[in-house]
Amino acid sequence: MGVRLPSVATKVIANAAVVTTTELQVVVTPPLNIALDFAQVLLFWYIALTVGAGTTAVAARLRRGVDVTGSQLTTFANVTVAANSALYLNGSYSDIPGAVAGVQYCVCILQTGATGNAAITDVSMIALML
């Protein structure tokens, strides 16, 4: 007999445009119900984007919550880029959120020096409880 542990996944783009130098969530997991208060959650994500005009760097921030007001868990990347170029970011992280019903996670994008919007072209994110 096997056991299926809770997991959630999404390929839905939360915001297709990241406005200049404003941090904005681009992918958000559905709610995940944690079975045990000491359970680990493994997170995997991928984002494809075209950075805006004037952009010199892009940061991806993982947050517990559905938007930029959520607790920042880590900054995955602060990548130097050329303006208007394609960029592919991905990462993984483990979290122990405690006894939280319906915990959600998001990845936010922040451009440095941008005078134009970034265009999000693809996303994927999965949260697995161990």
Residue 99's pLDDT is 82
Scanning the structure block, which residue is given the tokens 């969530």?
A: 25
CA distance 129 to 44: 12
pLDDT of residue 1: 58
Answer whether 124's CB lies under 8 Å from 11's CB.
yes
The residues, ordered by sequence, that sit 6+ positions from 83 with a Cβ below 8 Å of its Cβ are 51, 52, 53, 54, 55, 56, 114, 116
* pLDDT beneath 50: ranges in the chain: none
Dihedral sign of CA atoms 87, 48, 42, 108 in order: positive
Say if CB 4 and CB 95 are below 8 A apart.
Answer: no
Give the pTM: 0.92
Instruction: Give residue 34's pLDDT.
Output: 84
pLDDT value, residue 2: 67
Q: Are 12 and 47 in contact (CB under 8 A)?
A: no
Complete domains list, the chain, with CATH: 15-129 (2.60.120.20)
